[in-house]
Amino acid sequence: MQDFMLIFHSSPSTDYRPSPEEIQASIKRWQDWIGNIAAQGKFLSTNALNRSGKVVAADGTVTDGPYTELKEIIGGYVLIRADNYDEAVDLSAGCPTFRLGGKVEVREVMKLD
């Protein structure tokens, strides 16, 4: 068993203003999708990230997000446990980010021992 991180990339349009009902429905979709993974005993942890952020450069300058120079932002991640890359990729099926044209990046977590 290996740990993998599923990272969600999307390019949200700035004029997207979902209604409270749409937000509710979206939360439900995410929870059901994560629940599908957890019901297989393969879920470890998850976090969703806010859209705003800060970028720190080596010289110490700090700029506010959103990052106009980047098309995609990371919306969150799920940490899972799977046998191999194939299974990790399979587990990303049905991810709600696909509905809005997003992508899932699947990365194996490096073992440091």
Pick 44 or 106: Cβ nearer other proteins: 44
- Helix, strand, coil proportions of the chain in percent (round to 5)? 25, 35, 40
Q: Residue 8 corresponds to which amino acid?
A: F
Contact indicator for 99, 105 with CB cutoff of 8 Å: no
Indicate whether 35 belongs to the interface with other proteins (CB under 8 A). yes
Tell me: does residue 20 bind other proteins (CB under 8 A): no
Residue 84 near other proteins by CB under 8 A:
no
- DSSP annotation of 33 reads H
Question: Which of 2, 5, 7, 36 is in the footprint of other proteins by CB under 8 A?
Answer: 36
Cβ proximity to other proteins: between 39 and 58 the closer is 39
Provide, rounded to whole angstroms, the least separation between the CB of residue 59 and other proteins: 41
18 binds other proteins (CB under 8 A): no
Q: Which CB atom, from 79 or from 106, has the smaller least distance to other proteins?
A: 79
Q: Contact, 11 vs 43, CB < 8 A?
A: no
Q: What is the DSSP letter of 100?
A: G
